[in-house]
Amino acid sequence: MIESTVLASRPVSEQEAYQNLLELTFVKDSEIHGKGLFAKCFIAKGTVIGQIIGSPTTVDGDHVLWITDDLGIHVMNNLRYINHSPEPTAAYYDDGEVVALRDIADGEEITHDYNGDSSEWLSRDEHHEDDEF
């Protein structure tokens, strides 16, 4: 379960999530792959980095985030530049918010573990005893 200290820092609107994305991140060439999303400043664990803006799709392609085997989201904002890492710095919540899993240093690339499936997306209703959020 997410502790109240994290919930208190969550944006109350999509506009605030969008503002966080602009204020906290930038896009540049990545050593992982192509372009990447990077921290513009220190980002504390539990911070909402942004919220996915996109359209549903059943066709694979660049910047498609798969929700189920048959349904994906074609991500249209800068969150599309989050590259894969087996040791991710961020995760998606089931409502489309991207949250820092740990403190992220200024200039560090923001990553997600692509090998997880939709059941591993963090749900607001799930309780994980080892969560330190």
Q: How many CA atoms lie within 13 A of 129 on its CB side?
A: 0
Q: How far, CA to CA in Å, does 60 sit from each of 14, 72, 106, 119?
A: 26, 8, 32, 19
pTM: 0.75
Residue 12 inside a domain? The answer is: yes
Q: Say if 90 falls within a structural domain.
A: yes
Please state the domain count of the chain. Answer: 1
**Is 93 part of any domain?**
yes
Q: Is the pLDDT of residue 130 over 90?
A: no
Task: Please tell me the predicted confidence (pLDDT) of residue 90.
Answer: 95
The per-residue pLDDT for 116 is: 61
19 domain-assigned:
yes
pLDDT of residue 64: 81
Q: Say if 111 falls within a structural domain.
A: yes
Specify the amino acid at residue 18.
Y
pLDDT surpassing 90 at residue 49: yes
- Examine the pLDDT at 118 and tell me if it is beyond 60: no
**What average pLDDT score do residues 123-128 get?**
43
- Confidence band for 10, pLDDT divided at 50, 70 and 90: low
Asked if residue 125 belongs to a domain, the reply is no
| Residue that has been written with the tokens 């990545």 in this structure | 30
Domain containing 87: what range? 4-51+78-117
Residue 66 belongs to some domain of the structure: no
**DSSP label at 93?**
B
Q: pLDDT of 67-100, one tens digit each? A: 788 988 888 899 999 999 999 999 988 788 899 9
